[in-house]
A and B are shown apart, each in its own frame.
Chain A
Amino acid sequence: GAVVSQHPSRVICKSGTSVKIECRSLDFQATTMFWYRQFPKQSLMLMATSNEGSKATYEQGVEKDKFLINHASLTLSTLTVTSAHPEDSSFYICSAAYKGETQYFGPGTRLLVL
């Protein structure tokens, strides 16, 4: 149980384009989903928290107009990196939790912006 999937696992895009990453909880309903960013050999940095049906809460320093988060259902959240630039290249990881319990993480999405 408690499986979280992410799609795509890897994406390469040109600078200036937008990229959408999907995060799905496969066998449970996620009242809350989280988006993290991880730089090489570093810990996870929380970007935003989203609750189903409401606007995401962004961490300080994270541009909400650049990283659009939608949590339209209890099993799906999307992160859209708008007008991506090379400095946005990173490993993006989502997690899902049911009513504040343990967070279960997706496998991550490697984004490379050329």
Chain B
Amino acid sequence: AQSVAQPEDQVNVAEGNPLTVKCTYSVSGNPYLFWYVQYPNRGLQFLLKYITGDNLVKGSYGFEAEFNKSQTSFHLKKPSALVSDSALYFCAVREGGYSTLTFGKGTMLLVSP
């Protein structure tokens, strides 16, 4: 079975500071990893994904994530946070090929001015 853990319910960061939202995963095969962002009363927006290749993946809105196989982690990062980045962030995993996505519980990011 595949699973995702987002250990932080909420992350607080000041605008302009770097941010990290943590994610660890568990799959039996090769992981396909995703980050999505959800604004209030909206659906999920795709940010980035890791399928294969470079461990550092760059995505939308200046976000990036680093795949670490030994630590089974896929943390989301941004060098300089914006107030508009405040939202709910979901990490998701599926086993290679095609299978259903498993989502983490979500991490609320709050960026203060």
Contact = CB atoms under 8 A, between A and B. Distances in A.
B78 interface: no
Q: What is the interface of chain B mostly: helix, strand, loop, or mixed? A: loop
A102 B43 contact: no
Contacts of A95: 44
Interface of B: 34, 36, 41-46, 49, 90, 97-98, 100-101, 103-106
B46 A105 contact: yes
A108 B41 contact: yes
B43 A6 contact: yes
B95 to A, nearest CB: 11
16 contacts: A2-B46, A6-B43, A34-B100, A43-B90, A43-B105, A44-B103, A46-B101, A93-B44, A100-B97, A102-B49, A103-B46, A103-B101, A104-B46, A105-B45, A108-B41, A108-B42
Given A43-B103, A44-B103, A106 B98 contact: no
A43 B105 CA distance: 5
Nearest to B48: A102
Given A34-B100, A49-B100, A105-B36, A44 B90 contact: yes
Given A42-B105, A44-B90, A106 B43 contact: yes
A91 B43 CA distance: 9
A44 B43 CA distance: 10
Contacts of B103: 43-44
A85 interface: no
Most buried by A among B43, B44, B104: B43
B97 A105 contact: no
Given A43-B105, A93-B44, 6 more contacts: A2-B46, A43-B90, A44-B44, A44-B103, A46-B100, A104-B46
